[in-house]
Structure 1
């Protein structure tokens, strides 16, 4: 049955409450070397935080609820999830004098991602687009090759959804990642890749100028050093703090603990071509053998908690009605015996030498040993780790799943089209029933029917267990009490247009 989705919201007259001509500067801790801000190939959360404030998408994410809300599009309409009509905001200006944004810029941006010459890792997200038309500068009609009820996530302000200026891209040439031009609340003013990134307020931003004129991101890799810098007033806000002792110190000192809970799940990826893991009973035994709740409580109770699903409760298609695996070493041993491994087995867990063997992994090794499973650590340098994990060259590895679109997670990790090395399905999971359900759910225009299909997917996969959910992760950005409006969304990003410094 068909369903029309129509959303309309105009923000063209909205003005930030403190957007006076005040010259406020906010200094933020940035925790790693910047890697560039081209939406076609941007990678890592810290860089995505910069891009999120430089660019806009047709849609974006509410910083507190994670819901899709209008951005460059004021409204959209579809009757079948296949043909989408977007009405664009008029008068939106690109930064640095690159002119008005129109439907032609959206078409260029998406075609650039799809172009093999761009070599974007996000090209697959837009493969379903078969045509784009602009009847006028403020109307865009996109035709898909199949219905996709999650398309509004595809065109959101994230990666492939971020809209660029063709003229700016062409002028930047091979320096495009260091010369980004978008329509967001801030533009890149200067960058020293070894020390700092400076963003300046985009005065012609369609919502009105942001309260803060200048954002200075100081690169401080060591978290203890960054904690001291915040306490000494050298920075006003820390982008990501993930060590319990630092969080405790800052909270006791009265700093605001800006946070988002359960934003992403950490998975153990089990290579089902490794003989023991080909049997789902062995995979279930591993899940029963480790007390993930005890580990999180012992090591990082503020930063993570034991978890049971690939999806988060705040996602619209999430269901809690799935098999769960409590700590039960006796059940683990029984499952191993049923599967033909009464004496256990040995496997290697791929990780990085920079990280070393973490406390969490030490606990996991100990728990598994108690049921006869020997987990050996295979430590390699970070580039090798990334290459091998992406190629699926491991017995087990781990992945964190930050995403707002549940369909993207499920397709990426469960559909056979995305088997490594061509996608993120590192478990090499291929269940024809799940594949059919996923494709039907994506195409289903009726929300209740789609929910039922997604529920079935989650139930089957939780039983098959190609991925073991371990922990739900939290994100903290500690800051001075006078820094307000820091809302971390479910991609661990902050929209700095909402941030202000009070007196």
Structure 2
């Protein structure tokens, strides 16, 4: 019997060893990707707006669209620099006004037709057409002929030219070395004109792209499914065809407790997690080894409506008082459970390739009271704060309201669903709002969206901030030929914005994604951890029970 028991123990040990080695490299060799399987990813946000890149705005929309469509260029997910996409290379004239993009030949749409330079011209003009109501309407400001086109004085943007089938030329009115970075957005993806014109508005629910995955189905409020595009042009570093997985399913579960239950049951392969689950997974015996986390390019802030005539916060001292009244460090450490970083200004520091945050406003409630008194409000005032119903946003706002009350500012929260809050914010129908701006890879684009007077409303300047000095600094930075000169202008503009305080700067996002042990290829993409290039994700072994 002893011999039988010994053999049984040996057999069990061998089976466990085999299981632990499943999908592991032999003799230190790199783990090779495995084809097949269905990758299930959670969408913890609101429903996507549309699958038409015309409306590429917000994490739930972009994280799907970016896997259906490709653009001229893309942001390298590791180094945050512009990298080739359908354009295999590009050049610019010595005066940095004319950019020529050379397209790969043989890149196919999902319907089998070929991507051409005309498709990009068509999409750029779609985005720039006011009647289409794209949130990216002003993205191509500065292109020759852009203004005449938008005003209806021209039938096309003359500065965008399809030189031939595989060559696109864009001419700017002034030098603009930032143009390639501007074009990395999903809004600038290639779309087939024939499909768009045939489908009309239905293109948003029946998209045709040239990306790694083909749109398959969308049950609103439940899930959206993409399937592998077998003729996708991109290959991995070993020359293998991408993508690896057969299907990607985006499930819509907003409640974090429900997400945790689905992860535990193995019915979700990865999920962006909220603050309430962060501590749990950081200490979990299994999942602490399966976290991808890092600073994202989002800045959480309290925004003041600077178009609200006669209000106390039109006085800069009041806005500075609000900044001194809020204990950001405690909000980050206690309310956010360490799942964010203290903000010292508008721009997330990783955009400058550093983790060092500027000092910013110190928590000093006495100074806040003194500034309020100097501005003529020794007893404070009442205000309403517009907030999305996202749990971590609500929790932070409740903490902020408590701090404001301590200095005499009586804040009342207006909590709306995320979409309604966004619309109110963009239209300027608020007193103060709490929100986040981000999803950009370059600090200059971030500043342009958040603080240039031409970006008021949908693009991102929700406070209606107008400062001619800031406009001039941003415009000069766009035209700068020297990267160091551009950086100095950006830093100068940020210094002025911090002093002027159109925002109360609260925190920078820490993105955290938890995944199952068999998931490979996820990255700490700094623009947004949910904006994963899913063509490079693969499953080391097949999950059981699905």
Paired with 1:176 and 1:246, the residues of 2 have a C-alpha distance of 38
Residue 406 of structure 1: CA displacement? 2.0
Residue 125 of structure 1: CA displacement? 0.5
Deviations 1:396-454 (A, max 9, x none): 1022112213222212222222334x653232222222221111111111212212211
CA contact (8 A) 1:312 1:318 kept: no
CA contact (8 A) 1:322 1:458 kept: no
Residue 365 of structure 1: CA displacement? 1.7
Residue 360 of structure 1: CA displacement? 1.9
Matching of residue 237 in structure 1 with residue 270 in structure 2: yes
Normalised to the residue count of structure 2, the TM-score between the two structures is 0.82
Structure 2 residue corresponding to 1:441, chosen from 474, 477, 497: 477
CA RMSD of aligned residues (A): 2.5
Paired with 1:336 and 1:315, the residues of 2 have a C-alpha distance of 34
Paired with 1:368 and 1:338, the residues of 2 have a C-alpha distance of 17
Q: Which residue of 2 aligns with 1:9?
A: none
Structure 1 residue corresponding to 2:372, chosen from 324, 331, 336: 336
Q: Which residue of 2 aligns with 1:73?
A: 87
Matches within 5 A, 1:284-295: 284-295=320-331
Normalised to the residue count of structure 1, the TM-score between the two structures is 0.89
CA contact (8 A) 2:69 2:186 kept: no
Residue 462 of structure 1: CA displacement? 0.9
Q: Secondary structure at the match of 1:268?
A: strand
Deviations 1:70-119 (A, max 9, x none): 1111112123332111121222111132x221212111121221223423
Structure 1's 429 and 323: CA in aligned 2 closer, same or farther, altered over 3 A?
Answer: farther
Which deviates further from its counterpart, 454-463 or 61-70? 61-70
Runs of 4+ aligned residues of structure 1 deviating over 6 Å after TM superposition are 317-323
Paired with 1:26 and 1:321, the residues of 2 have a C-alpha distance of 36
Q: Which residue of 2 aligns with 1:176?
A: 203
Residue 301 of structure 1: CA displacement? 2.8
Structure 2 residue corresponding to 1:409, chosen from 443, 446, 449: 446
Matching of residue 192 in structure 1 with residue 235 in structure 2: no
Q: Which residue of 2 aligns with 1:154?
A: 182
Structure 2 residue corresponding to 1:429, chosen from 457, 465, 474: 465
CA contact (8 A) 1:482 1:501 kept: yes
Paired with 1:243 and 1:460, the residues of 2 have a C-alpha distance of 32
Q: Secondary structure at the match of 2:138?
A: helix
Structure 2 residue corresponding to 1:461, chosen from 497, 500, 503: 497
Which deviates further from its counterpart, 178-187 or 194-203? 194-203
Structure 1's 198 and 424: CA in aligned 2 closer, same or farther, altered over 3 A?
Answer: closer
Q: Which residue of 1 aligns with 2:230?
A: 203
Report how many aligned residue pairs link the two structures: 483
Paired with 1:357 and 1:173, the residues of 2 have a C-alpha distance of 36
Structure 1 residue corresponding to 2:525, chosen from 464, 468, 489: 489
Matching of residue 345 in structure 1 with residue 360 in structure 2: no
Paired with 1:18 and 1:272, the residues of 2 have a C-alpha distance of 55
Q: Secondary structure at the match of 2:203?
A: helix
Matches within 5 A, 1:225-264: 225-238=258-271, 240-245=272-277, 248-249=280-281, 252-255=284-287, 256-264=290-298
Deviations 1:166-203 (A, max 9, x none): 12222322210111111111111222224322211111
Paired with 2:459 and 2:171, the residues of 1 have a C-alpha distance of 24
Matches within 5 A, 1:323-402: 324-352=360-388, 358-380=394-416, 382-402=418-438
Structure 2 residue corresponding to 1:419, chosen from 456, 465, 468: 456
Q: Which residue of 1 aligns with 2:118?
A: 104
Residue 348 of structure 1: CA displacement? 1.6
Q: Secondary structure at the match of 1:351?
A: strand
Q: Secondary structure at the match of 1:135?
A: strand
Structure 1 residue corresponding to 2:49, chosen from 35, 38, 47: 35
CA contact (8 A) 1:237 1:479 kept: yes
Paired with 1:400 and 1:288, the residues of 2 have a C-alpha distance of 19
Matching of residue 269 in structure 1 with residue 282 in structure 2: no
Structure 1's 73 and 247: CA in aligned 2 closer, same or farther, altered over 3 A?
Answer: farther
Paired with 2:442 and 2:538, the residues of 1 have a C-alpha distance of 29
Q: Which residue of 2 aligns with 1:3?
A: none
Q: Which residue of 2 aligns with 1:303?
A: 339
Paired with 1:416 and 1:445, the residues of 2 have a C-alpha distance of 23
Matching of residue 480 in structure 1 with residue 513 in structure 2: no
CA contact (8 A) 1:237 1:478 kept: yes
CA contact (8 A) 1:306 1:472 kept: yes
Structure 1's 460 and 319: CA in aligned 2 closer, same or farther, altered over 3 A?
Answer: farther
Paired with 2:420 and 2:219, the residues of 1 have a C-alpha distance of 27
Q: Which residue of 1 aligns with 2:132?
A: 118
Deviations 1:138-186 (A, max 9, x none): 2211112232222112211x23211111122223222101111111111
Paired with 1:496 and 1:457, the residues of 2 have a C-alpha distance of 36
Q: Which residue of 1 aligns with 2:26?
A: none
Structure 1 residue corresponding to 2:110, chosen from 95, 119, 134: 95
Q: Secondary structure at the match of 1:86?
A: strand
Paired with 1:319 and 1:459, the residues of 2 have a C-alpha distance of 18
Q: Can you give the 5+ residue segments of structure 2 that lack an aligned partner in the other structure?
A: 1-29, 145-158, 235-240, 542-546
CA contact (8 A) 1:286 1:368 kept: yes
Paired with 1:251 and 1:54, the residues of 2 have a C-alpha distance of 36
Structure 1's 88 and 279: CA in aligned 2 closer, same or farther, altered over 3 A?
Answer: same
Q: Which residue of 2 aligns with 1:12?
A: none
CA contact (8 A) 2:71 2:186 kept: no
Structure 2 residue corresponding to 1:83, chosen from 79, 98, 104: 98
